[in-house]
């Protein structure tokens, strides 16, 4: 009985339609792209199809859409304060996209879009570029005041500015690595624990121990469900906090 | 991609361009749908509901104050009617009492007249009767005297004796 125990295999991209190469880069419609568009479709169903009747007394799906909207709107408002309404669509899109991609990954045999660093990094880059571009557009050079906290003695200022700049630059990295690493590690752990079950069953007497990793993979699945939702929330909250800098760079 | 994809798939940079492309398309589409269609619609639904609720609450409070006013008017008119009814009842009672008093008075006067009349009749009858008594008494006395003495007494003397003995009224 050959049990495939490759926990990395699930992260491989499988081209469904290949459009050829540009240099070493293969341009292909992969299962990852399919899940991205599936996520967009699910979100559109939830937020557009379910609200098409504009019911005064909402049904289940419309209530869900309204709950998500109000949740994100209040998160953005609390974190980014006055004038943050314009960023609600961005944070809402990011939150729903990450949430639905994470949850898609929890279905067995599916692919987790957010387990690829390039995807999470691009999403984080969207956030940081929004902060930088909007910050300069709205406040001009005053936006750079973000790196000079008020009330710092003069001799300490160069050091503080360096620290602030480094922390600002590390934001997209921490934002993307946090999501990517959580999804990756969770799915690897799940695969390994689940893989122990058939491995133990195939090992004769050791098969009596197989319920242990089975129970563990059930527990890890529950934990991963929590992580999937929590990471989407963390991504949205941190985005709101970073956007607050673009809106109020002087604090 | 396997010809370049040796190793860890998330760090296989040959897939990056493709992933970035599809992510940009998918996320761009999502952002467009959310910002143009979904979120304005949901915000509109929530706003409509809120304004509808506020309007309904206003309407309800307006109706309540209206009902309060109507109740006040009703109570006032009820009180007026009660007062009026009380007044009518009082005046009717007074009138009836007056009438009864009058009737009682005439009745009493009537009775008093009748009583006086009867009194007079009784008195005259008594006088007549008393006169008769005098006659009977003198006759009886004369008869008694005649039987005792054997001679008929003088009538005038008997009457004088009776008048002397007669009890004064």
pLDDT in tens, A161-194: 899 999 999 999 999 999 999 999 999 999 999 8
In this structure, how many other beta carbons lie within 10 angstroms of the beta carbon of residue A155?
Answer: 7
Q: Distance between CA atoms of B155 and B138, rounded to whole angstroms?
A: 8
Beta-sheet strands, E only, within A15-156: 15-22, 25-30
Q: What is the mean pLDDT of residues B39-45?
A: 92
- Under DSSP, the state recorded for A15 is E
The mean predicted confidence, pLDDT, of chain A is 89
Alpha carbon distance A241, A130 (integer Å): 13
- The answer as to whether B4 is a domain residue is no
pLDDT tops 70 at residue A223:
yes
Note whether A220 contacts B: Cβ–Cβ < 8 A: no
Bridge partner list, A29: A17
pLDDT exceeds 80 at position B83: yes
Q: List, in sequence order, every residue forming a beta bridge with A18; answer none if it has no partner.
A: A28
B6 in a domain, yes or no? no
Show the domain range for B76: 12-165
pLDDT of residue B3: 41
Q: Are A103 and A37 in contact (CB under 8 A)?
A: no
> For strand A25-30 and strand A15-22, is the pairing parallel, antiparallel, or unpaired?
antiparallel
pLDDT at A47: 92
Share of chain B above pLDDT 90, in %: 61
Q: Which residues, in sequence order, are CB contacts of B152 under 8 Å at separation 6+? A: B142, B145, B146
Burial A62-94 (b: 16+ CB within 10 A, else e): beebbebbeebbebbeebbeeebeebbbbbbbb
> Which of the four pLDDT bands, split at 50, 70 and 90, describes residue A4?
low
Closest by CA to A8, choosing from A184, A181, A219, is: A184
Q: Which among A110, A124, A91, A66 has a CA at the least distance from the CA of A236?
A: A91
**Amino acid B2: pLDDT:** 42
Query: How many residues belong to chain B?
Result: 169
Structure-token match 């999501």, residue found: A179
The dihedral built from the CA positions of residue B73, B79, B83 and B88, taken in this order, carries a sign that is positive
Work out the mean pLDDT of chain B and round it to a whole number. 88
- Here the contacts of B47-55 (C-beta below 8 Å, separation 24 or greater) are B48/A54, B48/A56, B49/A56, B52/A56
Query: Looking at chain A, which residue has its C-alpha nearest residue B20?
Result: A119
Instruction: Tell me, yes or no, if B120 comes closer than 8 A to chain A by beta carbon.
Output: no
Q: What is the mean pLDDT of residues A65-70?
A: 94
Set of chain B residues whose Cβ sits within 8 Å of the Cβ of A119: 19, 23
pLDDT for the residue B1: 39
Contacts of B44 in chain A (CB under 8 A): 54
Provide CB contacts within 8 A for A52, sequence distance 6+.
Answer: none
- Is B1 within a domain? no
- Interface subset of B 77-106, CB within 8 angstroms of A: none
Any idea how long chain A is? 251
State in Å, rounded, how far the first CA of chain A is from the last one.
63
Q: Using the structure block, give the residue that is written with the tokens 């004369």.
A: B142
Residue B10 to residue B5: CA distance in whole angstroms? 10
The ipTM, to two decimals, is 0.89
pLDDT of residue A251: 57
Contact between residue A34 and residue A222 where contact means Cβ atoms under 8 Å apart: no
| pLDDT for the residue numbered A220 | 93
CB contacts under 8 A, B 29-68 vs A, are 29-31, 33-35, 37-39, 41-46, 48-49, 52
Q: State the average pLDDT over residues B3-14.
A: 72
More confident residue, B6 or A209: A209
- B49 contacts A56? CB cut-off 8 A: yes
Q: How far is B58 from chain A (nearest CA, A)?
A: 18
Would you call A30 an interface residue with chain B, using a CB distance cutoff of 8 Å?
yes
Is the pLDDT score of B157 beyond 50?
A: yes
Confidence of residue A41 (pLDDT cuts 50, 70, 90): very high
List chain B residues with CB under 8 Å of A123.
Answer: 23, 27
Interface probe with A: pick from B12, B23, B44, most Cβ of A within 10 Å: B23
**pLDDT confidence band for B160 (50 / 70 / 90):** confident
Whether B41 is covered by a domain: the verdict is yes
Query: What is the distance between the alpha carbons of residues A13 and A31, in angstroms, rounded to a whole number?
Result: 7
Whether B143 shows a pLDDT value over 90: the answer reads: no
CB of B28 within 8 Å of a chain A CB? The answer is no
Q: How high is the pLDDT of residue B5?
A: 44
pLDDT of residue A141: 85
């Amino acid at each position: 009985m050959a049990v495939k125990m490759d926990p990395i295999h699930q992260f491989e991209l499988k081209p469904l339609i290949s459009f050829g190469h540009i240099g070493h880069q293969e341009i292909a419609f992969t299962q990852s792209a399919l899940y991205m568009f599936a996520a967009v479709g699910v979100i559109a169903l939830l937020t557009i199809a379910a609200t098409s009747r504009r019911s005064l007394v909402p049904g289940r799906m419309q209530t869900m859409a309204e709950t998500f909207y109000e949740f994100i709107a209040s998160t953005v408002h609390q974190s980014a304060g006055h004038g943050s309404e314009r960023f609600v669509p961005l944070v809402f899109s990011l939150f729903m996209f990450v949430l639905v991609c994470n949850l898609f990954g929890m279905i067995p045999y599916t692919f987790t879009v957010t387990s690829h660093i390039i995807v999470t990094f691009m999403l984080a880059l969207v956030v940081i570029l929004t902060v930088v571009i909007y910050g300069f557009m709205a406040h001009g050079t005053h936006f750079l005041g973000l790196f000079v906290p008020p009330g710092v003695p003069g001799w300490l200022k160069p050091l503080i500015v360096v620290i602030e700049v480094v922390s600002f630059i590390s934001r997209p990295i921490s934002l993307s690595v946090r999501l990517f690493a959580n999804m990756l590690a969770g799915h690897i752990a799940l695969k390994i624990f689940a893989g122990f079950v058939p491995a133990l069953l195939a090992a004769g007497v050791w098969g009596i121990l197989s319920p242990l990793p089975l129970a563990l993979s059930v527990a890890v699945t529950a934990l991963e469900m929590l992580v999937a939702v929590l990471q989407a929330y963390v991504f949205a909250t941190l985005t709101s906090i970073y956007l607050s800098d673009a809106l109020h760079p002087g604090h | 991609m396997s010809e370049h994809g040796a190793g860890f798939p998330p760090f296989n940079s040959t897939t990056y361009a493709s992933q970035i492309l599809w992510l940009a398309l998918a996320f761009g589409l999502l952002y467009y749908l959310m910002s143009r269609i979904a979120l304005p619609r949901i915000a509109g639904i929530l706003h409509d509901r809120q304004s509808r609720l506020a309007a309904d609450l206003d309407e309800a409070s307006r109706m309540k104050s209206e009902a309060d006013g109507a109740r006040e008017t009703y109570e006032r008119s009820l009180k007026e009617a009660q007062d009026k009814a009380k007044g009518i009842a009082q005046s009717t009672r007074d009138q009836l009492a007056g009438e009864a008093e009058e009737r009682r008075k005439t009745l009493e006067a009537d009775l008093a007249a009748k009583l006086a009349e009867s009194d007079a009749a009784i008195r005259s009858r008594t006088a007549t009767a008393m006169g008769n008594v005098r006659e009977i008494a003198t006759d009886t006395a004369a008869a008694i005297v005649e039987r005792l003495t054997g001679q008929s007494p003088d009538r005038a003397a008997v009457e004088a004796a009776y008048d002397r003995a007669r009890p004064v009224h």
